[in-house]
Structure 1
Amino acid sequence: MGAPARVLPSLLLGLLLASSPGAPGANPGLVARITDQGLQYVAKEGLVALQRELHNIMLPDFTGDFKIKHVGRGHYEFHRRLHGSFDVHVKGITISVNLDLGSEPSGRPTVTASSCSTHIRDVEVDMSGDLGWLLNLFHNQIESKFQKILESKVCEMIQKSVTSDLQPYLQTLPVTTEIDRLAGIDYSLMEAPRAAAQMLDVMLKAEIFNRDHRSSVPFLAPIMSLPEEHTRMVYFAISDYVFNTASLVYHEAGYLNFSITDDVVPPTSNIRLTTKSFRAFVPRLEKRYPNMNLELQGRVVSAPVLNFSPGNLSLAPQMEIEGFVLLPDSARELIFQLGVTTNLSATLTFNTSKITGFLKPEKVQVELKESKVGLFNVELLEALLNYYILNTLYSEVNAKLASGFPLPLLKRIQLYDPVLQIHKDFLFLGANVQYLRG
């Protein structure tokens, strides 16, 4: 018997899919949906692979008995070392395969072939060579034998391919993906994929976590009601949960905190972070701390929450800024505390492999919350903070958002024709798919 034929993983995805039900639990952060159009594309790719691989099926040696009219019964043995050649024409192949899709405890997808059946409508064998005329006398028996062997060989080929090709291919779906040195994203399956007549839904956790010390998230993903869209092969419904877990990770790591000292203020600025520069606004400051530098330390009070509403993304971070005098002995003394608020809008873009973002700069509003040097006009600080935040802090955050985070894609899958919609609580991304043959 010849070596088993190799079938591209895309072949079997286009066949009948069945999935074992998963236990209900928390809501997914991301749902990947393959539409009927996508399944048809995969089936088309699979048909090309099947036609190519059928040529590699090797027939085993076989024997049989036959009956020739007016002559009697005979016996034949068919060996691959027989001299001569023959052409086999196979017509009307029907293949039915049931694939059970599931998930491992680690969240990786699994697939097994629970059943396979093949039916060939007709097989014609044309033989040549020295014994061709003799073999043609009982070609009906040989053709019948060929048909049964080919039917079993096709299913054998598919069964082995599910184990050796398709299962390893599904394992290329990333379970955890690195975003940067701080954060990663958990793309583990929350349950077995759900198969319906015209679509296949895959529920992923899609939680961003600190790579050094992972902790539980204090909120749940919302329920997403996916729109009935079928103009693209695949869709990704991405909950605000994904972005807000990212906000939580970076906030807890202090990524959104900042410090402003006089050496970062532009040399051309009329406002310096010194007690002398502030004396026109806070006279008591210069008298109490003559010729000393100041330092402003800012922190975001809580992780900013990204709000999704139809066609709009917004967030309203709240910050606290503390002002310190840098004393001659290198100690710092707190002199005032400010509250800072702003309303931001955000834009997200979707390319062939990841989602990127951009915060639109908005001015901040400053409120004096506490002062140990008397009342003073906060407009000076507001102008300084706006300059720093608009030109430095936003730039750093946008640089991080521009790097984006990757979508969960199988190996050799490329997306094109992307579309993006913003719904309440989630993004809805659509794209067509191209399988890059290796």
Structure 2
Amino acid sequence: MGPLARALLAALLGILLTPAPGALGTNPGLVARITDKGLEYAAREGLVTLQKKLRETKLPDFFGDFRIKHVGRGHYEFHSLDIPSCELSCSALKPLVGRGLSLTISDSSVQVQGRWKVRMSFLKLDGHFNMHVKGITISVTLLLGSEDSGRPTVTTSSCSSHIHDLDVDISGDLRWLLKLFHDQIESKFRKMLETKICSMIDKSVTSDLQPYLQTLPVIAEIDSFAGVDYSLTEAPQATANMLDIMFKGEIFHLNHRSAVPFLAPAINVPEDHDRMLYFAVSNYVFNTASRVYYEAGYLNFSITDDMIPPDSIIRLTTKSFRAFLPLIGKLYPNMNLELQGALLRAPLLTFSPGNVSLAPQLGIDAFVLLPNSLKQFVFRLGVTTNITATLAFNTSKITGLLTPGRVQVELKESKLGFFNVEMMEALLNYYIRETLYPKVNDKLAEGFPLPLPRRIQLHDLLLQIHKDFLFLGANVQYMRV
């Protein structure tokens, strides 16, 4: 039964459970919650896989010695065993509070067929047999943990299996052999099967499931320079009817990671159970992303006259800018300008019930492009705006869209005296709305991935915005190969 544990455990846990550990004692940036409905679905999917694997399993030969009164001793052997059919009728995957998961399979049966041999001093016989193994019950306790490397651990703490009854049909009219089986062989055969089931489960947890979970990446790349750290802050936590998996959820620069100067807020996950799977994604995740892109200069920009639409009445030239700064045309006649903008700090997203917003602050420096290719600083502006963010949730990612508010401009410094702030606001509102926001929204449309194992599709999607976190719910479908 080599594939037994792999089919059973990898199918049940691998469908929904993708933990990977991190630092103890910190609030997670993201919590994944598997509800009782999710565990029930995992158990059902596991039975489908297990039945397929059982039909492919080759059982070991079974042999031993016997003694018949007044006849003497002999040797029996059951070989070439296989399983042409099986029926796994009932399963349950339940959380064990503070420990892990309990898997129970009951009311199940397996058909076994093969060849038999009997050898005595005066007799050699052989033939075929069919065996109906009925009332199979399997109980397994799985402990879920984590290791320092940021990957999950799973071990079997206990396993028991029980076979209620065996019906055997042996070829030929050999009632004495059938009686021999029930009197001397059946109990040993039953014990062998029960022991084999648990030993294979325990072995496969160590050699199949644990290495399989170790292949799950702790880091998910977003693009060429940013990734998400999906290590756990602690081992998965089981409660009475759900399993919580606490991910770090930090977005970081792939080439030069640095410590985040703020902490994730505590998340009070709603007690919803209508969906199989829920994600609570705190503003920490989005704000670490904002920090990464800010430090990478992704939102810095430079505007020159060749970037202004040809039909615009305002050009980035000293002649055109006389309307903003009267002296500029006299001191720098017939020259072009360049505006250089940058965020003053990483903008932080604010989550409140039903709303996501941010208020970025930018600084814009203006330079005259001199004939000798040098740049002459002429003024500095402070720019603020309020932005509404719309977040969306598809089958594997969270995406976003920014809706801009009106830009407000403040003159911070002028080397040339009076400056017409109102006209500059109009210019910047146009540029930011038509050029900068589309660039940011294109990046947000790429989204960042949720921590999902392979071949998982989400449907019946739910999205709610709570204080400090985004709450996502979904049902799960496992896409079989």
* TM-score, length basis structure 2: 0.84
Distance between the aligned counterparts of 2:413 and 2:23, measured in 1? 53
- Quick check: 1:87–1:125 contact (8 Å CA) kept in 2? yes
Deviation at 1:136, TM superposition (A): 1.4
> What does residue 77 of structure 1 align with?
76
Partner secondary structure for residue 113 of structure 1: strand
The 5 A counterparts of 1:96-135 are 96-128=139-171, 130=172, 132-135=174-177
- In structure 2, C-alpha distance between the alignment counterparts of 1:67 and 1:388, rounded to whole Å: 99
Question: What residue is the counterpart of 1:32 in the other structure?
Answer: 32
> Is structure 2 residue 413 aligned with structure 1 residue 370?
yes
Answering whether residue 38 of structure 2 is matched by residue 13 of structure 1, we say no
- Seen in structure 2, the aligned counterparts of structure 1 residues 22 and 236 have a Cα distance that, compared at 3 Å, is same
Partner of 1:92: 135
1:62 aligns with 2:63: yes
Moved more, 223-232 or 177-186: 177-186
Q: Which amino acid aligns with 1:125?
A: V
Q: How far does the alpha carbon of each residue in 1:320-355 deviate from its partner, in whole angstroms, 9 at most, with x for none?
A: 111111111111111111111110000111111111
Q: Secondary structure at the match of 1:98?
A: strand
Letter in 1 for 2:180: F
Which of 169, 181, 187 is the matching residue for 1:139?
Answer: 181
Q: Secondary structure at the match of 2:288?
A: helix
Partner of 2:365: 322
In the alignment, the residues of structure 1 paired with residue 142 and residue 374 of structure 2 have an alpha-carbon distance, to the nearest angstrom, of 69
Q: CA deviation at 1:28?
A: 0.8
| Matching of residues 312-391 of structure 1 within 5 Å | 312-391=355-434
1:274 aligned to which of 308, 317, 327:
317
Deviations 1:346-388 (A, max 9, x none): 0111111111100013221111121111112122211111111
Distance in 2, Cα, partners of 1:290 & 1:53? 82
> Retained in 2: the 8 A contact 1:342–1:365?
yes
Does the 8 Å CA contact 1:292/1:326 hold for their aligned counterparts? Answer: yes
Is the Cα contact below 8 Å between 1:359 and 1:394 reproduced in 2? Answer: yes
Conserved in 2, the CA contact under 8 Å of 1:420 and 1:430?
yes
1:209 aligns with 2:258: no
Q: Is the 8 A contact 1:10 1:43 kept in 2?
A: no
The equivalent residue for 1:398 is 441
Q: Find the aligned partners of 1:46 and 1:114 in 2 and give their Cα distance.
A: 20
What letter is aligned with 2:444? L
Q: For residue 76 of structure 1, report the CA deviation from its aligned partner.
A: 3.9
CA shift at 1:193, angstroms?
Answer: 0.9
Q: For residue 47 of structure 1, what is the aligned residue in structure 2?
A: 47
User: 2:357–2:388: 8 Å Cα contact kept in structure 1?
Assistant: yes
- In the alignment, residue 45 of structure 1 is paired with which amino acid? E
Q: Given the two structures, how large is their TM-score scaled by the length of structure 1?
A: 0.92
Q: Distance in 1 between matches of 2:330 and 2:311?
A: 26
Could you say what secondary structure the match of 1:189 adopts?
Answer: coil
Query: Superposition RMSD on alpha carbons, in Å?
Result: 2.2
Cα deviation, residue 63, structure 1: 1.2
Question: Counterparts of 1:303 and 1:10 in 2: how far apart (Å)?
Answer: 42
Q: Any conservation in 1 of the 2:391–2:401 contact (CA below 8 Å)?
A: yes
Q: Is the 8 A contact 2:61 2:78 kept in 1?
A: yes
Identify if the C-alpha distance between structure 1 residues 66 and 123 changes in structure 2 by more than 3 Å, giving closer, same or farther: farther
Q: CA deviation at 1:57?
A: 4.5
| Larger CA deviation: 360-369 vs 391-400 | 360-369
- The separation in 1 between residues aligned to 2:411 and 2:23, in whole angstroms, is 52
Give the one of 221, 225, 231 matched to 1:182.
225
Structure 1 residue 206: Cα displacement: 0.9
Distance change (3 Å), C-alpha of 1:415 and 1:168: farther
Partner of 2:278: 235
1:74 CA displacement: 5.0
- The equivalences for 1:289-304 within 5 A come to 289-304=332-347
Does the CA-based 8 Å contact 1:294-1:323 persist in structure 2? yes
Counterpart residue type for residue 177 of structure 2: L
The equivalent of 1:428 in structure 2 is 471
Match of 2:108 in 1: none
Q: 1:155-195 deviations in whole A, cap 9, x for unaligned?
A: 12212221233223323433001111121111112221112
* Change in 2 beyond 3 A, CA 1:320/1:188: same
Q: 1:257 to 1:112 in 2, by over 3 A?
A: same
Identical-residue share of aligned pairs (%): 65
Corresponding residue for 1:194?
237
**CA separation in 2, counterparts of 1:122 and 1:283?**
100
Q: Deviations over 1:376-405 (max 9, x none)?
A: 212221111111100110000000000000
Q: Which secondary structure state, in structure 2, belongs to the residue aligned with residue 266 of structure 1?
A: coil
Shift of 1:11: 4.7
Which segments of 5 or more consecutive residues in structure 1 lack a partner in the other structure? none
Equivalent residues of 1:172, 1:410 under 8 A apart: no
Amino acid at match of 2:77: F
Q: Which of residues 391, 394, 410 in structure 1 aligns to 2:453?
A: 410
2-structure distance, mates of 1:66, 1:420: 70
Provide the secondary structure at the position in 2 that maps to 1:283. coil
Shift of 1:213: 0.6
Structure-2 change in CA distance of 1:91 and 1:201 (3 Å): same
Contact 1:123 1:146 in 2 (8 A): no
Instruction: Give the stretch that moved more between structures: 308-317 or 54-63.
Output: 54-63
Mapped contact 2:4–2:50 kept (Cα < 8 A) = no
Question: SS where residue 295 of structure 1 aligns?
Answer: strand
